Structure 1
Amino acid sequence: MEKNYVSLKLLIDTERERVLFAEAGKEFVDFLLHILALPLGTFIPLFEKQGMVPGSFGNIYESIDNLSSINCLQSKVDKETLLKAKVDISDDGGTTNNEVPLQLKMLNVASSATSMKFYKCPREDQKCDLHVASYYRTICPMCQNAMKRELSLVHPPSTQRGYVKEVVTYMVMDDLEVKPMSTTSTFTLLNKFNVKEMGALEEKVVVLGMDEGMKLIKASFQSKRVLTDVFLPTLNEEVK
């Protein structure tokens, strides 16, 4: 069965009530890096679907939706392209879907969106072949013909899916900085935060699913204590 969550091991400083870092595998780091590949407009309907208020940025999204395509927008502008951006995501070596590499179903960008397509001029001409368009029937700058010949996108083999290698264990800081995990880096971090009492440290395994993933994305825009803000309130409630 396809897994709709990933696990993280948090190291928590119980005295300061904060997450020092998370021990994470490839899937979670791929999720974080994949956020960078998503258009900002992607997040608005996702936040609203989870009952989260997107703030002022949501007003830009709503404004575009309300603007008249005839009176306000350039003829070449497709409103659907702005509101439901098409994102191509390579998953299993040739299979494309609109899900993040870690198989969280929270980020299927838009139900109507498909993988991005590219077009070239139908003429067999070396100068024309130098130009590629993402919009169907864009005018070729060399010969003025409509660029409508669809190109095939070649995906990497399944062994190269996602962004980072699977053999490495990663350390994800509270502010989402990512680095390879090692004994040296762990002790360096403990010294940085002036941790004197090892007994104050506690390990907790948490699950990142749809709700936690959306909270994490939103918190990353607002906070430098993302892991603390997302996971500690839930853990504290479980204790109570």
Structure 2
Amino acid sequence: MSKGKVSLKLLIDMNNRTVLFAEAGKDFVDFLIHILTLPVGQVIRLLTKTGMVGSLGNLYGSVEKLNDVSIKPSKKDILLKPKAPAFLSEIPFLLFDNPPDSTPKASYRCNFSVPYSNCLGYVADDPSAKCPWCNIPMNLECIPVKSPAASAAESDGKGGFVLGEVTYMVMDDLTVDPSPWSTISSITLLKKFNVKDIGLVEEKTVSLGMDEGIKLLRSSLHSKKVLTDVFLGVKRERW
């Protein structure tokens, strides 16, 4: 799991101790969107069972207690310690227990010499498997071919989700606006937030790491003031 930090710039209404919005790059937006990929089991693990609302924490605890007679360890790990998908490898840090594996999984096919035979329809992930058609060991490793999208992302060094090196506006409730910045749009926003004294608006650069990421995840499940909760330390009642 990467231990990187993500920077973003906050515009704060000091009078109300509220984040109006954040100016963020692709890395922070990628992190926010990656939250949507988290399995429920991983969310419960990150927030701890006792911090969960409802009964899902109890279900997680029950799976934890199941022994090898009741469930295979590999399947138990899938539920309790999911592995990050490989395509997330470019995101600065992830809320997954296991880092993504960018190495393609090997596949094998039948070593039958006649091309275009019925054997070519079968693929195995174990070289000791035998072809169901001709019974010959499937030990000829297939050469993986990347999709056009994966090749393009690798060539320009841009993984993750969103495209382009643009600045994004992220609202306190995590609404993301990729619209270009301008002086006029900034003034319009200040009017929208009913900011009457520009002298009470402060700019602050903050860093988001693993601790802040988990706080953001927790706050996003019950608050409309996520950035304020995480970066200004404002405590609110949970639902």
TM-score normalised by length of structure 2: 0.69
Separation (CA, whole Å) in 2 of partners of 1:131 and 1:221 = 44
Q: Pairwise mapping of residues 1-240 of structure 1 onto structure 2 (< 5 A)?
A: 4-48=4-48, 53-55=51-53, 56-67=55-66, 70-71=69-70, 78-90=75-87, 101-102=91-92, 104=93, 107-110=95-98, 114=101, 122=109, 152=144, 154=146, 155-156=150-151, 157=154, 158-180=156-178, 181-183=180-182, 184-233=184-233
Contact in 1 for aligned 2:10/2:203 (Cα 8 Å): yes
Q: CA deviation at 1:13?
A: 0.9
Contact in 2 for aligned 1:118/1:150 (Cα 8 Å): no
CA deviations 1:160-212 (Å, max 9, x no partner) are 31112342100000011111242244333222222222112111111112211
Q: Report how many aligned residue pairs link the two structures.
A: 214
Output the CA distance in 1 between the equivalents of 2:61 and 2:190: 45
Shift, 1:120, TM fit: 7.6
User: Could you say if the C-alpha distance between residues 46 and 161 of structure 1 is closer, same or farther in structure 2, counting changes exceeding 3 Å?
Assistant: same
Structure 2, unpaired ranges of 5+? 127-131, 235-239
Q: Distance in 2 between matches of 1:12 and 1:178?
A: 17
Q: What is the CA distance between 1:79 and its match in structure 2?
A: 1.8
SS at match of 1:224: coil
Matched-pair contact (CA < 8 Å) for 1:121–1:128 = no
Q: Over alpha carbons, which structure has the higher Rg?
A: 2
Quote the sequence identity (%). Answer: 44
Shift of 1:57: 3.1
Structure 1 unaligned residues grouped into runs of 5+: 137-141, 235-240
Shift of 1:31: 0.6
| Alpha-carbon spacing, 1:63–1:153, altered in 2? closer, same or farther (3 Å) | farther
8 Å CA contact retained: 2:83, 2:96: no
Q: 1:7, 1:206 within 8 Å by CA — same for their partners in 2?
A: yes
Q: Is the 8 A contact 1:121 1:129 kept in 2?
A: no
Q: Secondary structure at the match of 1:90?
A: helix
TM-score normalized by the length of structure 1? 0.69
User: Would the aligned equivalents of 1:120 and 1:131 in 2 still touch at CA under 8 Å?
Assistant: no
